[in-house]
Structure 1
Amino acid sequence: MKLEHRTLENRFVRLEPLVEAHREPLREACAADRDLWLQLYSFSMLDTAFDENFDKLIAGALAGPALSYAVIKDEACVGTTSLLRVDEANGALEIGGTYYRPEARGGAVNPAAKRLLFGHAFDGGMARVYLHVDALNARSRSAVLKLGAVQEGILRRDRIVWTGRPRDTVVFSVLEHEWPQVRDRLDARLADFA
């Protein structure tokens, strides 16, 4: 089964396939937290790097094949997220490239977006969904564990990020048979925001 790159929506967020119309709203969202891009991301969405990497996201070439989305809350673009390294032959993909402007963090946006992405992946026939998180990103590591994902291990000095810093990457995953329990946890968390 082929994953469709289509709009995904629940009562908290709408994930729209990333298109040219999202360029300036996403540029503004990314500029809202310059320090985060400088500290934790393997690629930059700041200044002159924004356009090049936005074009790669649209083309699905940043970590392809990929399906990238603009995250919309209350009709405003608050960030981006993607289904990366889509490997339909092996039934695996990565959720990543996620960024939210500061005021969208800590509430329903991330669990709501993850609920949509995991659901789309498993409904689309995936057997394994994984997440790669910078070992220095304590907030993301905690959020992924709250989802119910399993920490598989740490890839030491996995890559050099755009600032030149060597990065250790923590690998988490959810397998197809674990999805119902993870889905229930996400739904329970989202019920708290109703």
Structure 2
Amino acid sequence: MTPETLHVPLAAGPARLVPLAEAHREGLRAACAADTEIWPIYSTNLTGEDFDREFDTKLAGGGQRAFAVLDGDGIVGCTSWYGIDPGNRVVAIGYTYLAPHVRGSGFNFAVKAAMVRHAWALGFHRIHFDVDVRNTRSQAAIRKLGAKHEGILRRNKITWTGHIRDTVILSLLPGEESDALRAWM
């Protein structure tokens, strides 16, 4: 159980997750540009002049293992593992963006099912999600997975816009998956 064993190609239903690579740069740029209104509530910005710097950061790895998210052969977004703590068998899923045309279609369930199934198979026993308190759409989507609200970290992160955000913490333990998520697993 290492960051490398987490960062392998995954799939569920129509969603394919492949480790982010240089070949995904322009496809992800286009997918992220499909909704320029959403980025102010994200901690980082994957549009405009910020895109290349943030993409390069994701490629470099560090504490984040990023995926390109594909629907068929087309890139529709990205997601990542982060906060990877094999010793405590805890990992986070986040930095997720999905293009508007796949939102609300069940596609997010497929993405998360692939990741959750893989984390449980590796022996992780807690997945957490950290979301800007203003991002109510993501909070609702995560709750639909079966995740439980744990609390709010107040003023814990400064976003790319300079906003000092409060972060909602939600978590999922084995057996808490919603029926909707299990249907994709």
Residue 144 (structure 2) aligns with: 146
What amino acid does structure 2 have at the position aligned with 1:105?
R
Helix, strand or coil: the match of 2:87? coil
Helix, strand or coil: the match of 1:28? helix
Distance apart, 1:183 and its partner CA: 6.1
Q: What are the equivalent positions in structure 2 for 1:1-194 lying under 5 Å apart?
A: 1-2=1-2, 3-37=5-39, 39-61=40-62, 64=63, 66-175=64-173, 179-182=174-177, 184-188=179-183, 190=184
Matched-pair contact (CA < 8 Å) for 2:144–2:178 = no
TM-score, structure 2 length as denominator? 0.93
Distance apart, 1:90 and its partner CA: 1.5
Matched-pair contact (CA < 8 Å) for 1:92–1:126 = yes
Q: Of the two structures, which has the highest relative contact order with CA contacts closer than 8 Å and spacing of 6 or more?
A: 2
Identity %: 44
What amino acid does structure 1 have at the position aligned with 2:17?
L
Counting matched residue pairs gives 183
Distance 2:178 2:139 in 1: 18
Distance apart, 1:181 and its partner CA: 3.9
Distance 2:23 2:152 in 1: 37
Distance 1:16 1:77 in 2: 10
* Runs of 4+ residues deviating >6 angstroms: none
Gaps of 5+ in 1: none
- Cα deviation, 1:112-166, whole Å, max 9, x if unaligned, reads 0000111111111212110001111111111111111010001111111110111
What amino acid does structure 2 have at the position aligned with 1:67?
R
